[in-house]
Amino acid sequence: QVQVVQSGAEVKKPGASVKVSCKASGYTFTKYGISWVRQAPGQGLEWMGWVSAYSGHAEFAQKFQDRVTMTTDTSTDTAYMELRTLRSDDTAVYYCAGTGIIAAATLDYWGQGTPVTVST
Amino acid sequence: EIVLTQSPGTLSLSPGERATLSCRASQSISSSYLTWYQQKPGRAPRLLIYAASSRATGIPDRFSGSGSGTDFTLTISRLAPEDFAVYFCQYYGSSLGTFGQGTKVEIK
């Protein structure tokens, strides 16, 4: 069965970087993409971007263009999202999701979420 | 940039009642890329409906999606206790994804 497992909670200071991992199993990783979505406390879902595990091509929401990197490691079926220059309003749960497996652009299989706290 | 507006913000209903959730796009969009998700407290979202009207695997047939152009609807024909949750619509197009702000379905 498909599983998507993310790395554990992080606490960072403002200005630091965070790198979240997302390991997929149960499907052919390189045929699809991985999307990243975040959710601030008590708020809705915010699409950050996605990366093709096949080509490495990534697309980002404009607000993250200058601060985010999304990569994949096909040797371990793992995706990574690095967010730099963290601010307090980056405090959120960060989700990854296997994308495009069931249908085009659908976020099909979600990880459990990685809480990231940005605080002095 | 496409903006998705969901209404109502909160829907207060009793088990067994019908729920009708709306998702309106700021301009006409392809229904092929309109998706609905369910999220329960403390949990990751779950795929419900894709391509506006196709149920994902394992989703009960009391859930249905419809719509085209700018207006899309998620209907839950008879609310079961486990259906009380937050529902988000989402669109992917022109290399960008966007979510609606969500509709909370709560027990009346």
Contact B97 A61 (CB under 8 A): yes
- Per-residue model confidence as pLDDT tens digits over A48-99: 999 999 999 999 999 999 999 999 999 999 999 999 999 999 999 999 999 9
Residue B18 identity (one-letter amino acid): R
Contact B44 A95 (CB under 8 A): yes
What is the length of chain B? 108
Q: Among B32, B42, B55, which Cα is nearest to B86's?
A: B42
What is the distance of C-alpha A97 from the center of its chain? 7
Distance CA A60, CA A65 (A): 6
Annotate B20-86 with DSSP letters as a single string.
Answer: EEEEEEEEEE-GGGEEEEEE-TTS--EEEEETTTEEPTT--TTEEEEEEEEEEEEEESS--GGG-SE
Share above pLDDT 90 across residues of chain B, in percent, rounded to a whole number: 95
pLDDT tens digits along B34-70: 999 999 999 999 999 999 999 999 999 999 999 999 9
Residue in A45, A61, A108 nearest the CB of B47: A108
A93, A44 Cβ separation under 8 angstroms: no
Asked if the Cβ–Cβ distance from B45 to A44 is below 8 Å, we say no
| Nearest in space to B91 (alpha carbons), one of A83, A67, A106 | A106
Q: Do A59 and B96 touch (CB under 8 A)?
A: yes
Q: Given CB atoms, is A41 within the 8 Å cutoff of chain B?
A: no
pLDDT band at residue A14, thresholds of 50, 70 and 90? very high
Rounded to the nearest angstrom, the minimum Cα separation between B74 and chain A is 16
Question: Which chain B residues contact residue A49 at CB under 8 A?
Answer: 97
Closest CA to B24 of B54, B3, B38, B48: B3
CB–CB contact A108 B56 (8 Å)? yes
B76-106 pLDDT, tens digit each: 999 999 999 999 999 998 888 999 999 999 9
Q: Residue A87 to residues A36, A40, B12: CA-CA distances in angstroms?
A: 18, 12, 36
> Do the Cβ atoms of A106 and B47 come within 8 Å?
yes
Best mutation target among B37, B38, B49, B53 (most A Cβ atoms within 10 Å) is B37
